[in-house]
């Protein structure tokens, strides 16, 4: 869930450096359990299980210019042509990964330009993507329904306008070498590696209690990464994502012993990842929003149906190169996403019998109700709220394009 933090983005060299560090997050996540060095605080609004990242200060200074390049139009773009395009900004929620891959595909394939848009991909701000969109620092961003609801409780004026992920990917894990933990009830009395926030506490407590435990645990704040915190013995368990850190653990270690939320009593879908914008921006620029979402739908659908091609596009992008993404890893991540149908029914998308991007408010509402009953929500002044957020008020399908119009993306 969202956390307080700084507002704005790239206002100073310090802020820009922080964003560069995020791009460098993956550079050492390919080689083993003691891959992490240095530390940087997680951006606000990064959710209940932020992805770990590493800093490399010397490389970061040199990479500032790379971020400047990556925040421009697509590589090799004709500047004169770009001057006639409508400029749009999209902010990542974290370092570049397969959650963002559809935007990179849309940029690389020219889907945005075809509709008259010059899309700039921004590194996430220290304040978080949600606050940046809310304050006008970005037009669109990647986020999830849970973060949108939490931001709107605090007058964020955000709208969730296209859903990418349709099933939970969060996994709660201990190191496989820790033989004392065999199921979530064994988290009782153990140390939880957390980035903070009431949401993750509520989820872990429910899983423990559903498995027959009391739901009592202590916490330690994650430093460089959850992997590092577990490997150094500072904590016993933590949160990851099966489509990214789960792949990392399988390919490079350390091996994990993991449990999913649906199997242990957490209702709904906590991981409804997708595209957000602000109410004011959508009111002022509805046509731009429709064009952006059409191209983004095409990009994600293309990535889902052509995962290896998409993996190469992300890996070869300036952002992917700066982050040190490796093609075998990104391919494996996309394989997990497609094999697990995390983004929905690919056959239905291919036959145009379903629309990619529609919002599942029913699953979101079940999760919102659970968080409300667990007293996880607080308003801007830290006070509990009187009723659960309504998913139908956080999201809209207004800007989506029909499946028939997306057929060019599946060829």
For 36-60, the pLDDT digits (tens) are: 222 233 334 434 443 332 223 323 3
- On whether both 142 and 203 belong to a single domain, the answer is no
For the residues 108-114, what does the mean pLDDT come to? 97
pLDDT band at 196 (very low <50, low <70, confident <90, very high): confident
286 pLDDT above the threshold of 80: yes
32 and 148 share a domain?
Answer: yes
Q: Which residue spans within 261-317 are E strands per DSSP?
A: 273-278
160 and 194 belong to one structural domain? no
In this structure, the answer to whether residues 202 and 298 fall within a common structural domain is no
Output the CA angle 237-384-214, nearest 5 degrees: 35
Q: Give the residue from 216, 248, 264 where a domain finishes.
A: 264
The counts of H helices and E strands in the chain are: 18, 10
Residue 381 lies in a domain: no
The answer to whether position 227 is within a domain reads yes
Between the CA of residue 394 and those of 141, 149, 153, 307, 391, what are the distances in Å?
Answer: 15, 6, 10, 30, 5
First vs last C-alpha separation in the chain: 38
Residues 29 and 142 in one domain: yes
- CA distance readout (Å), 44 to 1, 346, 396: 9, 33, 24
Mean pLDDT (whole number) for 364-387: 97
Q: Do the domain assignments include residue 44?
A: yes
Give the domain CATH number at 208.
3.40.190.10
- 135 and 17 in a common domain: yes
Q: Is the pLDDT of residue 2 over 70?
A: no
Same domain? For 348 and 234 the reply is: no
pTM of structure: 0.83
* pLDDT tens by residue, 197-232: 889 999 999 999 999 999 999 999 986 689 999 999
The reply to whether 146 and 229 lie within a common domain is no
Mean pLDDT, residues 184-199: 94
3-state SS of 340-404? CCCCCCHHHHHCCCCCCCCCCHHHHHHHHHHHHHCCCCECCCCCECCCCCCHHHHECCCCCCCHH
- Among 209, 233, 264, the domain boundary falls at 264
3-state SS class at 215: coil
CB neighbours of 4 closer than 8 A, spacing ≥ 6?
A: 44
Kindly tell me if the per-residue pLDDT of 7 is higher than 50: no
Same domain, yes or no, for 33 and 182?
A: no
Residue 29 has pLDDT above 50, yes or no: no
Q: How would residue 409 be classed by pLDDT, with cut points 50, 70 and 90?
A: low
Evaluate whether 141 touches 130 at the Cβ level (below 8 Å). Answer: yes
Q: What's the mean pLDDT in 347-367?
A: 96
Specify the range with the lowest mean pLDDT, choosing from 67-81, 113-127, 312-326: 67-81
Task: Sort strands 237-241 and 170-175 into parallel, antiparallel or unpaired.
Answer: antiparallel
Tokens in use for 134? 């809310």
Based on the domain organization, do 135 and 37 belong to the same domain?
yes
Q: What's the gap between Cα 121 and its chain centre?
A: 14
Q: Residue 222 falls within a domain, yes or no?
A: yes
Give the residue from 234, 243, 228, 219 showing the smallest Cα distance to 337. 243
Instruction: Confirm if 26 and 211 have CB atoms less than 8 A apart.
Output: no
Q: Which residues pair with 276 in a beta bridge?
A: 141, 160
> Same domain, yes or no, for 252 and 293?
no
Q: Is 243 helix (H, G, I), strand (E, B) or coil?
A: coil
Domain count, the chain: 2
- Under the banding of pLDDT at 50, 70 and 90, the label for residue 16 is very low
Is residue 387 included in any domain, yes or no? no
Residue 197 is assigned to a structural domain of this protein: yes
Q: Are residues 288 and 402 in the same domain?
A: yes
CA distance 205 to 182: 16
List alpha helices for 91-196, DSSP H: 101-109, 111-114, 129-134, 145-153
Q: What is the widest separation between alpha-carbon atoms in the chain?
A: 65
Structural domain boundaries enclosing 192: 170-264
Cβ-contact 138, 9 below 8 angstroms: yes
Q: Which residues contact 167 (CB under 8 A, 6 or more apart)?
A: 269, 271, 340, 341, 342
| 142 sits in which H/E element | strand 140-144
Q: Quick check: is 347 in a domain?
A: yes
Domain final residue pick, 238, 264, 290: 264
pLDDT digits over 159-176, tens only?
A: 999 999 999 999 999 999
Cβ-proximal residues to 65 (8 Å cutoff; 6+ apart), any chain? none
Q: Flag whether 366 is in a domain.
A: no
Return the exposure string of 111-148: e unless at least 16 CB atoms fall within 10 Å of the residue's CB, then b. Answer: bbbebebbbbbbbbbbbbbbbbbbbebbbbbbbbbbbb
């Amino acid at each position: 869930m969202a956390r307080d933090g700084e507002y704005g983005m790239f206002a100073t060299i310090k802020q820009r450096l922080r964003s560069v560090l995020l791009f460098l997050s993956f550079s050492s996540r390919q080689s083993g359990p003691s891959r992490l060095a240095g530390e940087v605080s997680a951006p606000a609004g990064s959710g209940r299980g932020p992805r770990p990242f590493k800093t490399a200060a010397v490389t970061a200074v040199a990479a500032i210019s790379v971020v400047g390049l990556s925040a421009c139009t697509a590589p090799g773009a004709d500047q004169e042509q770009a001057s006639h395009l409508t400029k749009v900004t999209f902010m990542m929620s974290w370092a570049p990964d397969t959650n963002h891959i559809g935007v990179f595909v849309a940029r690389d394939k020219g889907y945005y330009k075809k509709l008259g848009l010059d899309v700039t991909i921004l590194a996430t701000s220290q304040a978080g993507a949600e606050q940046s969109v809310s304050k006008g620092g970005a037009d669109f961003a990647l986020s999830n329904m849970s973060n949108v609801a939490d931001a709107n409780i605090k007058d964020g004026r955000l709208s969730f306008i296209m859903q990418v992920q349709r099933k939970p990917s969060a996994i709660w894990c201990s190191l496989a070498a820790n033989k004392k933990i065999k199921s979530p009830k064994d988290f009782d009395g153990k140390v939880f590696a957390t980035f903070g926030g009431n949401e993750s506490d509520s989820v872990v407590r429910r899983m423990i209690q559903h498995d027959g435990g009391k739901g009592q645990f202590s916490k330690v704040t994650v430093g460089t990464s959850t992997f590092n915190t577990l490997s150094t013995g500072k904590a016993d368990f933590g949160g990851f994502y099966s489509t990214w850190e789960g792949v990392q653990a399988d390919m490079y270690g350390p091996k994990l012993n993991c449990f999913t939320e649906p199997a242990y009593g957490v209702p709904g879908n906590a991981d409804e990842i997708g595209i957000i914008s602000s109410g004011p921006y959508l009111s002022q620029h509805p046509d731009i929003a429709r064009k952006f979402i059409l191209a983004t739908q095409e990009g994600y659908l293309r990535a889902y149906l052509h995962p290896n091609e998409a993996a190469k596009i992300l890996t070869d992008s300036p952002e992917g190169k700066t982050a040190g993404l490796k093609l075998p890893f990104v391919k494996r991540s996309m394989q997990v996403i497609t094999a697990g149908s995390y983004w929905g029914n690919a056959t239905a998308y291919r036959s145009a019998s379903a629309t990619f991007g529609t919002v599942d408010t029913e699953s979101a509402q079940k999760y919102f109700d659970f968080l409300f009953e667990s007293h996880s929500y607080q308003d801007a002044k830290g006070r509990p709220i009187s009723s659960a957020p309504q998913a139908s008020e956080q999201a809209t399908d207004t800007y989506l394009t029909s499946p028939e119009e997306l057929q060019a993306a599946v060829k």
